[in-house]
Structure 1
Amino acid sequence: MIGRLVILGGTGDLSGRFLMPALAALHAAGHLADGFRVTGASREEWSTERFREWIAEWLDRQGGSAPADARRAVVESAHYRRADVTDPEDVRAVVAGDEPVALYLALPPALFPRVVTALRSAGLPPGSRIVLEKPFGEDLDSARELNRLLAELVPERAVFRVDHFLAMTTVQNVLGSRLANRVLEPLWNSTHIAEVEIVWDESLALEGRAGYYDRVGALKDMVQNHLLQVLCLVAMEPPVTLGERDLRDRKVDVLRSVRLLTEYDVVHRTRRARYTAGRIDGREVPSYTDEEGVDPERGTETFAEVELELDSWRWAGTTFRLRSGKGLRGDRKEVAVRFRPVPHLPFGHSGEVVPNVLRFGLEPEGLTLDLMGTGSRAGHLTELELSARLEPGELPAYGRLLLDVLRGDPALSIRGDEAEEAWRVLTPVLSAWERGLVPLEEYPAGSDGPASRHAYGPGPVTRDALLHEETVLHTSGEAGGRP
């Protein structure tokens, strides 16, 4: 197990908000050995004492339930080195030593190629590992080039392309619910499931992140990585084990099965929008284009939605809708699995029918099943809801990721070919959006986003609408999924 963590960009928000609290949780759980060290490197003219004060301030705010002695251990284990992380001589001084290091690139992704090039020139101690945050590259070509540079630095098994969604307890519960319950797995296919929605809608607006967000947007920030990763866990075939090879092979199979969107598909099956001025929870929110640091000419979207189909035996005929938006009325963060309606209702019921929906709450954590049952009146149907709260995991998501890095278990990291396949899926969307084939819609901050063009949504719909949707799905399936 590696005993030294080096954070390039050690004074940044990612380091203070997530990595330091994660280390405190690992200390509290007894996962870090005595003598563990963390080194922060950045351009700031700081001393180790100033760095430790900064860590203590973050842990006071974000340390969660970690006891005081664990927080103190993190602070005392920390050291600081001023460095230009793109300069080979500077990074050589930071990583100097005989023992292997876990090197975390807590940096803007645009710097990754230059930093990896500098590291290749400087050299790393044998057995070292490198950690990169999403997004991995800016498009398919840049992801391929970054993979090439990394292959010249360390073996693939020592590269950790991390996505903290994969370590969230609720995301892991998707696998647990699927693979450990016989009642679900026989139904987990297109014969029974009409649609899967993977949604991360939040009331949070830009909140000072223009320097990063305005160059990325909702599609690259959320859909290309987080939501596609969740799609893989929902749709993959049961792996033989949850080891790195079996799990990652099955995830790649899902991405390879995604049917590439044509220009017609992109126009009719994707949406992009950005918020205008409005009110969220009683506070005024300026228009996205009026936020400090935003360039309106970029046309950056704060809302993205993509509908995908998988060309596989299990999922042909099921729609997968991936959606994420900022500045909305409220938070909706879930995986919603909508089942097809029953073929016949003997109750003579003509009112609203709620489709059976299994919801995996991503934040807050929970599991809900929407059903229909008979009410107090004979032949009358009523809505039923079965729900369960999930216990939080022993470690926060970043704690789990760091522990895997230090132990050398890449099962929850993204393999090189997987990163490229994810970009392949969205390349037609990016290309069409850049050419303006899909209009950039607008929605007021604090609203539900751009108007839905679907006959159904998260709430109840009529049985006639559901049956109509079934007809459309099966008809399009017979025609190869194309108009």
Structure 2
Amino acid sequence: MERTFIILGGAGDLARRLLLPGIAHYCALTGTDITVVGAGHSSVDDYAGLVRDATEHVDARVAERLADRATYSVTDATDSRDLSALLEGRENAILYFALSPTVTAEAVSALPALPPGITLAVEKPFGTDRESARQLNARLAGLVDEPRIVRVDHFVEMAGVRNLRALRSANRLITSSWTPADIAAIDLVWNETIGLEGRADFYDATGAAEDMLQSHLLQTVAHVLADGDLAPEDILRGIRVQGEVRKGRYSAGEVNGKSVPAYVDEDGVDPDRGTETWFLVTVEVDVDRWRGIPIRLESGKAFGLDRGNIVVTFRPNGPHPANTLSLDLLDHSMAISLAGADLTGGGSANLTLHSALAPAPLSAYGRVVERLIDGDGGLSADAAVAGWEAMSHIREQLNRAPLEEYPAGTMTIP
């Protein structure tokens, strides 16, 4: 079996760090041959070498196969004639928009008549606000049928997120306590050691909240809480700020022994924009099924430690310590805290049970590739729009919050 991935933005950061390794993971697992056709507005001297460098850490033999088959085309993604030449004869290919949301919208508008069987994969952020997301949905629907449109958010494909959904639905111990009467709070944290890393063109105009909250964290919460007749878009439409709202940006510091300049001193940054690199917001879902549970969402750049986890804290049973269910999104482990007997002094003591989860055969982007090839997956059209509806409520509060500072290398912000 052979498939073709045409990647608009094929030499960009997302393609190199995430999508190309995901393709390699999928090929290594399934033996599928994939031809990568990179496209971008600038020339690339050695695209085969770029593909090899991006994938050899996954599997050296797969990296060589991908590199040998890879081609690159200098293409203006917003020009119909360039796109027509790029797509000619590419039946059943996957056209992947690894572009900024504004360029993606222009590229979709410029698409000519498509070869049969083309699948369109659109990266997050999907649009730049609610109305642009609706318009983008309409344009895509005018080109191909809905099953051929995949709105990508790789967070919902992460092993930890998928495991939490399975744990809550497959285990009576957890299912019976998956209610507002039993859950005290949910925390979702994604803090990274990486800073701006040359992405000022995108990041300084977007900020942490639209980069991480609007897409990844809100969609993750929506997919974790979706239940029965409540779809992810229903959860998103019920999101309301209900508590703490903070934002900040990193000042000069040190991360893993390496000096990091202040965000405002990074190349391409406009200091007057006040772009945040960290946020902490507390929301709730204003629907009967989940109302009253505080959901704390946090993400930031240039921290001293990579941290990604989901923690569900249950209400304490009388005087005993609260139970928690924690899934680490980075090392694929789980911990459950229970209250046991304190055999030294009476009362209760915490018992924590740790387990490594079954290793994921595919990375999150490998899973994205699998779904693209199988024709099964991605956010719904309604969920993509509802994410912006939720973000509009939060953005009003974030805009009013003072901009704090934290040194690069900070472990946690109190």
Shared fold (TM-score greater than 0.5)?
A: yes
- The residue number in structure 1 matching 2:28 is 28
Q: 1:73 aligns with which of 47, 65, 70?
A: 65
Show CA shifts across 1:357-404 (max 9, x none).
Answer: 110111121101123322332414333211111232111111111121
Q: 1:374 aligns with which of 317, 321, 341?
A: 341
Show CA shifts across 1:184-236 (max 9, x none).
Answer: 00000111111001111223322332222111111111111111122123212
Q: Structure 1 pair 331/45, CA: closer, same or farther in 2 (3 Å)? A: closer
Structure 1: which 5+ residue stretches go unaligned? 240-248, 346-353, 452-483
Mapped pair 1:176 → 2:143: no
CA drift at 1:340 = 0.8
- The residue number in structure 2 matching 1:246 is none
Code of the residue aligned with 1:218 in structure 2: it is A
Q: 1:88 aligns with which of 59, 80, 84?
A: 80
CA drift at 1:148 = 2.1
CA–CA distance in 2 between the matches of 1:333 and 1:45?
36
For the 8 Å contact 1:174–1:233, the answer to whether it is kept is no
- The residue number in structure 2 matching 1:387 is 354
SS of the equivalent of 2:15 reads helix
- The residue number in structure 2 matching 1:37 is 35
Q: 2:391 aligns with which of 410, 413, 426?
A: 426
CA drift at 1:335 = 0.6
Q: Structure 1 pair 385/423, CA: closer, same or farther in 2 (3 Å)? A: same
For the 8 Å contact 2:246–2:398, the answer to whether it is kept is no
Larger radius of gyration: 1
Mapped pair 1:275 → 2:250: yes
Mapped pair 1:365 → 2:332: yes
Mapped pair 1:250 → 2:231: yes
- The residue number in structure 1 matching 2:260 is 285
Q: Structure 1 pair 21/278, CA: closer, same or farther in 2 (3 Å)? A: closer
CA drift at 1:313 = 2.9
Runs of at least 4 residues off by over 6 Å: none
CA drift at 1:356 = 1.5
- The residue number in structure 2 matching 1:53 is 49
For the 8 Å contact 2:2–2:32, the answer to whether it is kept is no
For the 8 Å contact 1:368–1:387, the answer to whether it is kept is yes
CA drift at 1:109 = 2.0
Q: How many residues align?
A: 414
Structure 2: which 5+ residue stretches go unaligned? none
Code of the residue aligned with 1:375 in structure 2: it is D
Q: Map 1:136-215 to 2 at 5 A.
A: 136-215=126-205
Q: Map 1:331-410 to 2 at 5 A.
A: 331-344=306-319, 354-410=321-377
Comparing 82-91 and 7-16, the one that deviates more: 7-16
For the 8 Å contact 1:340–1:356, the answer to whether it is kept is yes
CA–CA distance in 2 between the matches of 1:21 and 1:450?
32
Q: 1:97 aligns with which of 82, 89, 108?
A: 89
Identity %: 38
CA–CA distance in 1 between the matches of 2:255 and 2:23?
34
Scaled by the length of structure 2, the TM-score of the pair is 0.94
Q: Structure 1 pair 216/2, CA: closer, same or farther in 2 (3 Å)? A: farther
Q: Structure 1 pair 56/328, CA: closer, same or farther in 2 (3 Å)? A: closer
Q: 2:219 aligns with which of 203, 221, 229?
A: 229
Mapped pair 1:297 → 2:276: no
RMSD: 2.1
Show CA shifts across 1:217-256 (max 9, x none).
Answer: 11111111111122123212147xxxxxxxxx62122223
CA–CA distance in 2 between the matches of 1:250 and 1:299?
35
CA drift at 1:296 = 0.7
- The residue number in structure 2 matching 1:464 is none
CA–CA distance in 2 between the matches of 1:25 and 1:197?
30
SS of the equivalent of 1:28 reads helix
SS of the equivalent of 1:367 reads strand
CA drift at 1:169 = 1.2
For the 8 Å contact 2:245–2:398, the answer to whether it is kept is no
CA–CA distance in 2 between the matches of 1:235 and 1:380?
34
CA–CA distance in 1 between the matches of 2:268 and 2:44?
27
CA–CA distance in 2 between the matches of 1:390 and 1:160?
28
CA–CA distance in 2 between the matches of 1:196 and 1:98?
45
- The residue number in structure 2 matching 1:455 is none
CA–CA distance in 2 between the matches of 1:2 and 1:420?
34
- The residue number in structure 2 matching 1:417 is 382
Code of the residue aligned with 2:52 in structure 1: it is A
